[in-house]
């Protein structure tokens, strides 16, 4: 038992240390209308705070390939809702998030443009899920 407690303490300290990093953990849905306009939820860490935990500007540019999406809102420090631009049906692109003054995150091959009938939820659906 004596070894378990120190290991748990070290593990929790490691988790806290990792939480100071700006990161993306998911993009939902990972497909959207090739004509544009699909709402996408990006989850992660430190979207509204810096690595010290201090408030950071709610400013970001989000690119789907070379095309700029429209940030709808920052739901929380760990969630952004963005409206994806259009693209070619079947095209899979990287998602690049540029945070003002705090760096960038690139998620390779994270989003695919599809025909409208294959798109995911609307913005209201994203807001209901938590």
The pLDDT tens digits of the residues spanning 63-75 come to: 999 999 999 999 9
DSSP secondary structure, 41-84, as one string: EEEEE-SSB-TTS-B----EEEEETTEE-EEEEEEETTEEEEE-
What is the CATH number for 34? 2.60.40.10
Q: What pLDDT does 117 receive?
A: 67
The closest alpha carbon to 82, from 52, 53, 107, belongs to 107
Structure tokens at 110: 């994270």
Structural domain tally of the chain? 1
pTM here is 0.75
- What is the per-residue pLDDT across 111-123, written as a single tens digit (0 to 9) for each? 999 998 655 555 5
The closest alpha carbon to 58, from 106, 28, 101, 122, belongs to 101
Structural domain including 84 reads 4-128
- What is the per-residue pLDDT across 16-60, written as a single tens digit (0 to 9) for each? 445 678 999 999 999 999 999 999 999 999 999 988 889 988 999
Mean pLDDT of 75-88: 96
């Amino acid at each position: 038992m004596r070894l378990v407690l120190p290991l748990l303490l070290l593990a929790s300290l490691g988790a806290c240390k990792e939480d100071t990093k700006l990161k993306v953990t998911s993009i939902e849905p990972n497909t959207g209308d090739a004509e544009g306009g699909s709402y996408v939820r990006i989850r992660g860490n430190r979207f509204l705070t810096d690595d010290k935990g201090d408030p950071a500007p709610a400013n970001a540019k989000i690119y789907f390939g070379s095309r700029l999406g429209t940030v709808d809102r920052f739901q929380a420090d760990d969630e952004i809702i963005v409206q994806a631009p259009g693209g070619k049906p079947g095209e899979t692109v990287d998602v690049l998030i540029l945070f003002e003054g705090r760096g960038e995150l690139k998620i390779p091959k994270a989003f695919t443009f599809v025909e409208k009938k294959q798109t995911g939820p609307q913005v209201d659906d994203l807001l209901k899920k938590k």
